Structure 1
Amino acid sequence: MKRTRTVVALVLCLFMTGCWDQLQLKKLLFVDVIGIDYEGNGKQLKVDYVISSLREASQGGGRQTSLHMKSTGTNLYDAVSNTNKEMPGILSVLETRLYLISSRFAKDEPLRHLDIASQFASNPLYAYLAVYDGDLSELLSKKSINDQTVSHFLIGLLDDEIRRGEIPSNKLLHYILGGNQFMNDFALNRFEPYRDEARLAGTALFSDGRYTGKNLNNEDTQLAILLESPSGRNQLLSSQRDGKQYSVLIQSVKRRFHVLTNADKLNEIEISMQLQVKLIEDGSEFKRHTDKMLKDMETFIAADLTTRTTNVMAALQQANCDLLQLGHEVAVFHPNLYKNLNWREQYPTLRIKPKITVKILNTAILE
């Protein structure tokens, strides 16, 4: 009899818990995307939200819907607080996956404004951080893009390209908690308007915490990421030789910085990279390569990549964006020399030479 009562009590508890969860789920408003710009010509923040909530929540399930809201405030915390006063339900930023900032806002030390995100009780610091070069409200108010919710479309683009190793990860956590003088130069993924949608268009370059207005395109971004964090595994690089397309699939990368000095003077920084790659060709033109053919191809690819990475470094220096943290490298290994440098002034004119060597491990047919 006692055992029967225990079972009945457990069943009742399960039903009671299910009802409580259902009520809570109906109240929760999950913020997927937060867009930040200035309101008008002033310094009041305009914050757009793409909010997901569960409708028809029952038996542990429900239908996810998306809605757009916007509010203003003197800072991000103030704007969220104002939203809570305007919208019934429990606003949750725990699952926020993307902070999207306007190019105008990005030029005004955006991390100083975003630092307040770490003060939320359930802070979304694992969200992506990106720039949108367009009207944020117009983009985030769309009902769908390519039969997907706006948040799934934008975050899906980032997820896929990051998985391929072609763009930086740009987690908010990295910039908010890792901030120091060497972390103020970085590149954020950049979206731009495209037809009735948006697309990734390379990266926006930041110097001393501010957007410079200068960008890298998609191809140059891929090379910059290879220079900055050279894991490079399975990254696909494409180019042309004699008017024919070829691609290489990176298998491994070794990178070293060589700081060349003369007494108390910094002369040059050499960036040496050794790539091991697979050569991928169109199956219709596949042929057996001789050792000489492979050696010639290695030399050509190395020269091509050296030229292209040199151009990328020139673009970074022109923007005064020390994306590779070369200043940190000099400070660590040549501290006395670094103390006498004005790195911000010297970096744009410093001689920086990428030097790349390539080893083709084997060839492959692109299916």
Structure 2
Amino acid sequence: MKKQLIFIIMMFMLCGCWDQVNIQELQMSDVIGLDRNKKSDNENMKMSIAISTLSEAHQGGGKPGMQLISSEGYSLADNIEKLDYKLSGNLTFNQSRLYIFGKLFASNTPAEEMKILGRIPNSPLNANLAVFDEEVSELLKMEKIDSKTIANYLVVMITNAIKYNYTPKVTLFQFILGKQDPFKDFALPLIKKKGEDVQLGGSALFRAGNYTGIDLSMTSTKMAMLLKERKGGGVYLNTQLDDSSYQIWIQKSKKHIHVKSSDNKISEINLILHLQVNLIDSGKSNKALSQTKLDSIQKKLTDDLNQQALQTVQTLQKANCDFLELARELHAYHYKEWEHMNWREDYPKLIIRPDIKLQILNSGVML
């Protein structure tokens, strides 16, 4: 009897799920698009949210769909509140997988605008970021591509691009905190629309948290990623030489930075990149290549990759975007020279020479 009485008292003491929210009442954002209008009034920010839905649900599946809602306001918080008014359920960000900036929004302190998302409960700070070269609201209105909802299509496209080293991974958390890091600039995946197709188009360069207005091509983006990492690999590169196409798979890469200076002033920075590669596509030949032919291809590929690397570095300098984090390197290992520098003024004028040293490991046989 005593045990039964204790059990009854404990039942009354338990609070239960008094604050539960039924899943049917939640409106889970999947992809969030942010644009800035050119209007002169205060309501110049547009927020578009793709909410994934599932109709005809049954055990093991259902029919995927998407609900698109949007609002215009003077800030992100204002837009979130207005969107809440439009929905019958509770708007939640805990399933957000991708944030997409329109270029105009990306050019005007996006990191400051996004800070509020770090204070919203259950906001996934590991969500990926990307840039669209037109209005994101128009992109999301496409609804479907290849039988997939546009939201799912975009999420899978960016996720796979990161997985296969086509583009850098930048999360919401990194982007918000990056504004406070003087040595951190970003390259965000760039989405482009061509007719009815949507595809990855390289990367958009950011300086001090703002879009610079300058982009890297797909090839230059992969080259920039190679030049940034100390050690790496797992990247495909394509090139066209002598009317033949070549594709290499980078098995291993290793970077060294050599800084030349005099009188405590930096005169030149050399980016030395050692690449060990497999020749996947050896042009028109489908036979094993002779050593003489391999040596010739290796020299031509080395020259071509060095040219690509130089163009990539020059584009980064033109944008005054230190994606390679050279400032961090100089501050850590060449502080005497660093003290005499005004980095943002000096960086675009520095002599930066990439030096790629290529080694082909196989014979170029097509299997």
Q: Compute the TM-score of the two structures, normalised by the length of structure 2.
A: 0.88
- Distance of aligned partners of 1:366 and 1:116 in 2 relative to their CA distance in 1, 3 Å threshold: farther
Shift of 1:115: 1.5
Give the Cα separation in 2 of the matches to 1:235 and 1:262.
37
Give the Cα separation in 1 of the matches to 2:145 and 2:200.
14
- Distance of aligned partners of 1:234 and 1:181 in 2 relative to their CA distance in 1, 3 Å threshold: closer
Q: Give the total of aligned pairs.
A: 348
- Distance of aligned partners of 1:111 and 1:310 in 2 relative to their CA distance in 1, 3 Å threshold: same
Report if the CA contact (8 A) 1:26-1:54 is conserved: no
Report if the CA contact (8 A) 1:175-1:183 is conserved: no
2:170 maps to 170
Counterpart residue identity of residue 125, structure 2: L
Matched, 1:95 2:84: no
Report if the CA contact (8 A) 1:29-1:89 is conserved: yes
Shift of 1:223: 1.1
Question: Which of 36, 61, 67 is the matching residue for 2:34?
Answer: 36
Gaps of 5+ in 1: 1-16
Give the Cα separation in 1 of the matches to 2:69 and 2:197.
19
Give % identity: 33
Q: Name which of structure 1's ranges 292-301 and 308-317 shifts more when overlaid on structure 2.
A: 292-301
Shift of 1:114: 0.9
Give the Cα separation in 2 of the matches to 1:24 and 1:137.
29
Counterpart residue identity of residue 302, structure 1: T
2:75 maps to 75
Counterpart residue identity of residue 249, structure 1: W
Give the Cα separation in 1 of the matches to 2:39 and 2:349.
36
Give the Cα separation in 2 of the matches to 1:179 and 1:214.
19
Counterpart residue identity of residue 298, structure 1: Q
Matched, 1:180 2:142: no
Shift of 1:144: 0.9
Counterpart residue identity of residue 237, structure 2: L
1:239 maps to 239
Shift of 1:201: 1.2
Counterpart residue identity of residue 27, structure 2: L
- Distance of aligned partners of 1:39 and 1:293 in 2 relative to their CA distance in 1, 3 Å threshold: closer
2:155 maps to 155
Report if the CA contact (8 A) 1:260-1:269 is conserved: yes
- Distance of aligned partners of 1:47 and 1:25 in 2 relative to their CA distance in 1, 3 Å threshold: same
Q: Name which of structure 1's ranges 246-255 and 197-206 shifts more when overlaid on structure 2.
A: 197-206
Report if the CA contact (8 A) 1:26-1:55 is conserved: no
Counterpart residue identity of residue 176, structure 2: I
- Distance of aligned partners of 1:288 and 1:365 in 2 relative to their CA distance in 1, 3 Å threshold: closer
1:111 maps to 111
- Distance of aligned partners of 1:261 and 1:237 in 2 relative to their CA distance in 1, 3 Å threshold: same
2:261 maps to 261
Report if the CA contact (8 A) 1:53-1:65 is conserved: yes
Shift of 1:73: 3.0
Counterpart residue identity of residue 36, structure 2: Y
What is the aligned-residue RMSD (CA, Å)?
A: 2.4
Q: Write the mapping of 1:210-221 to structure 2, written as runs, cut at 5 A.
A: 210-221=210-221
Shift of 1:345: 0.6
Report if the CA contact (8 A) 1:48-1:69 is conserved: yes
2:23 maps to 25
1:339 maps to 339
Q: Write the mapping of 1:309-320 to structure 2, written as runs, cut at 5 A.
A: 309-320=309-320
2:7 maps to none
1:189 maps to 189
2:276 maps to 276
Shift of 1:101: 0.8
- Distance of aligned partners of 1:204 and 1:271 in 2 relative to their CA distance in 1, 3 Å threshold: same
Q: Compute the TM-score of the two structures, normalised by the length of structure 1.
A: 0.88
Give the Cα separation in 2 of the matches to 1:142 and 1:348.
40
Report if the CA contact (8 A) 1:202-1:221 is conserved: yes
Give the Cα separation in 2 of the matches to 1:366 and 1:183.
44
- Distance of aligned partners of 1:179 and 1:209 in 2 relative to their CA distance in 1, 3 Å threshold: closer
Shift of 1:256: 1.1
